[in-house]
């Protein structure tokens, strides 16, 4: 018997875990109850952590199998608007749950336009000689200051960055939308804007203001978030943003946006059902393009956006033509060996702006000498640039692949929905073919 007890004691001393779990000497019944409860809670917590890790692993495993799409293009090319179109096409409930947040964004865009007008007036008033504006306009600018201050209030609420007036930068994710939908500050901004509706309409109806903007070559209509022609509608206290309003509303995101789409019904091919996909929206400014590279070996399709803005320069570098920058990016993307098996889909975006420019008398060959004597029409311009991009695609791609091209006006929900549907079907068809071959 003594020998048996010795063996047990020796075994316990050799096992650190057993020694750790052994009851302390002189433990009271109350202490024992507390110790057992603590051990049970620790075990429960451990199981919960294991479950979270398991679910995370399942999500990562599933994510590896899902289709992944990358939106590329320079800043202001319309990537965020195309992303909203994907949301509208495949997850329409998304818009319904976030309209309150987008209402505040629309009002911010309106205030931003007013700020541009006020700045133009104040700049003209500061000139040695001014004829287009008067002390009446000076008084209007003073009356609008409470409205302009609201821009700073909302900016501070949702933006952790030191943004300049008119440029609101938010973090990726939906936290800022929750703030805009629930914050008393956002509700107060809506009330201030509604209370100044008459002043805003009078300012925008002023012929001298319109002439001043034309003189300074300020075109509010060409900018994102244009709502000056909708003042009465968007300042109504009962205003609810339409789908088109949400697509037009503009807010900048710092960093990479990752969006998961779970379709209610997906295409079925040979018994393989595909319903989920991811879209990554990455920054387009020249200083942010290094963040694109890690996504190249994981995505199956790239939607590359470029407006035919051959008459403009980059916002961040006035020495660089916008279209020339897009061409350089296009050639680099097509030639990248990491993307040789990736579908690359070209969107000529913001085509409504090009149509308006051509109708107003824009001469293509004055900006693009190689355009020559081709017809200075919408069809002539789009055909010329399409063939240029097609030639670079064919010449620089490491392996032969199909050329996919669409002309889009991303704020036109009806036409863009059809294009988004066609793009989605083509991407998934290719994904299914590859999956079956594997």
Return the domain boundaries, the chain.
Answer: 66-93+255-437, 96-248
Q: Which residues pair with 347 in a beta bridge?
A: 305, 406
- Same CATH topology for 66-93+255-437 and 96-248: the answer is no
Show the tokens assigned to 403: 């050329």
Q: How high is the pLDDT of residue 313?
A: 87
What residues are designated binding site? Answer: 76-81, 247-253, 349-352, 410
Q: What is the pLDDT of residue 169?
A: 77
Are 304 and 292 in contact by the 8 Å Cβ rule? The answer is no
Taking Cα atoms as reference points, which of 162, 163, 195, 155 lies closest to residue 179? 155
Q: Which long-range contacts does 429-434 make (Cβ < 8 Å, 24+ apart)?
A: 429/267, 429/269, 430/300, 430/301, 430/343, 431/67, 431/274, 431/300, 432/267, 432/269, 432/270, 432/272, 432/274, 434/300
Sequence-ordered list of residues with C-beta below 8 angstroms from that of 291, at least 6 positions apart, any chain = 256, 282, 283
Write phi, then psi, for 133 (nearest 5 degrees): -125, 170
State residue 307 phi and psi, 5-degree precision: -75, 150
Q: What is the CATH number of domain 96-248?
A: 1.10.400
Render pLDDT for 391-404 as a digit per residue (tens, 0 to 9). Answer: 999 999 999 999 99
Q: What is the pLDDT of residue 257?
A: 83
Residue 367 confidence (pLDDT): 94
Given the candidates 3.30.1600.10, 3.40.50.300, 3.30.70.2170, 3.40.50.10800, the CATH classification of the domain at 66-93+255-437 is 3.40.50.300
> Is residue 272 a contact partner of residue 282, using CB atoms and an 8 Å limit?
no
The DSSP call for residue 71 is E
Low-confidence ranges of the chain (pLDDT < 70): 1-22, 50-65, 160-168, 263-275, 431-438
H or E element in which residue 182 lies: helix 175-182
Q: Which positions make up the binding site for GTP?
A: 76-81, 247-253, 349-352, 410
Which helix or strand (DSSP H or E) is residue 52 part of? helix 29-65
Give binding residues for Mg(2+) as ranges.
Answer: 80, 253
């Amino acid at each position: 018997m003594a020998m048996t007890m010795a063996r047990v004691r020796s075994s316990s001393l050799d096992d650190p875990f057993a020694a750790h779990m052994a009851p302390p000497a002189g433990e009271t019944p109350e202490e024992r109850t507390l110790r057992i409860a603590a051990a049970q809670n620790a075990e429960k917590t451990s199981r919960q952590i294991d479950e979270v890790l398991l679910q995370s692993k399942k999500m990562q495993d599933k994510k590896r199998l899902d289709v992944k799409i990358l939106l590329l293009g320079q800043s202001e090319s319309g990537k965020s608007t195309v992303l909203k179109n994907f949301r509208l096409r495949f997850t329409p409930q998304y818009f319904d749950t976030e309209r309150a947040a987008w209402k505040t964004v629309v009002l911010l865009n309106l205030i931003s336009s007013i700020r541009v007008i006020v700045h133009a007036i104040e700049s003209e008033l500061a000139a040695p000689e001014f004829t287009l504006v008067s002390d009446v306009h000076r008084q209007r600018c003073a009356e609008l200051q409470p409205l302009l201050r609201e821009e700073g209030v909302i900016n501070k609420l949702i933006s952790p960055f030191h943004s300049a007036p008119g440029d609101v930068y938010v973090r990726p994710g939906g936290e800022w939308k929750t703030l805009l939908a629930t914050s008393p500050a956002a509700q107060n901004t809506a009330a201030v804007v509604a209370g100044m509706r008459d002043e805003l309409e009078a300012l925008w109806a002023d012929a001298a203001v319109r002439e001043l903007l034309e003189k300074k070559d300020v075109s509010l209509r060409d900018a994102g978030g244009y709502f000056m022609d909708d003042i009465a509608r968007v300042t109504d206290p009962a205003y609810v943003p339409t789908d088109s309003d949400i697509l037009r509303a503009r807010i900048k995101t710092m960093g990479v946006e990752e969006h998961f789409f779970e379709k209610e019904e997906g295409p079925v091919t040979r018994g393989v059902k595909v319903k989920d996909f991811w879209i990554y929206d990455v920054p387009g400014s020249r200083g942010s393009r290094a963040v694109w590279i890690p996504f190249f070996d994981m995505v199956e399709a790239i939607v590359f956006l470029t407006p035919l803005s051959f008459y403009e320069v980059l916002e961040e570098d006035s020495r660089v033509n916008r279209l020339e920058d897009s061409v350089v990016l296009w050639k680099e993307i097509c030639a990248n060996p990491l993307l040789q098996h990736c579908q690359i889909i070209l969107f000529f975006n913001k085509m409504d702006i090009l149509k308006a420019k051509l109708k107003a008398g824009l001469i293509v060959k004055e900006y693009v000498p190689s355009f020559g004597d081709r017809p200075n029409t919408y069809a002539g311009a789009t055909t010329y640039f399409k063939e240029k991009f097609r030639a670079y695609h064919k010449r620089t791609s490491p392996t032969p692949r199909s050329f996919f091209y669409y002309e889009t006006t991303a704020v036109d929900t009806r036409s863009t929905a059809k294009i988004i549907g066609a793009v989605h079907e083509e991407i998934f068809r290719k994904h299914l073919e590859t999956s079956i071959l594997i």
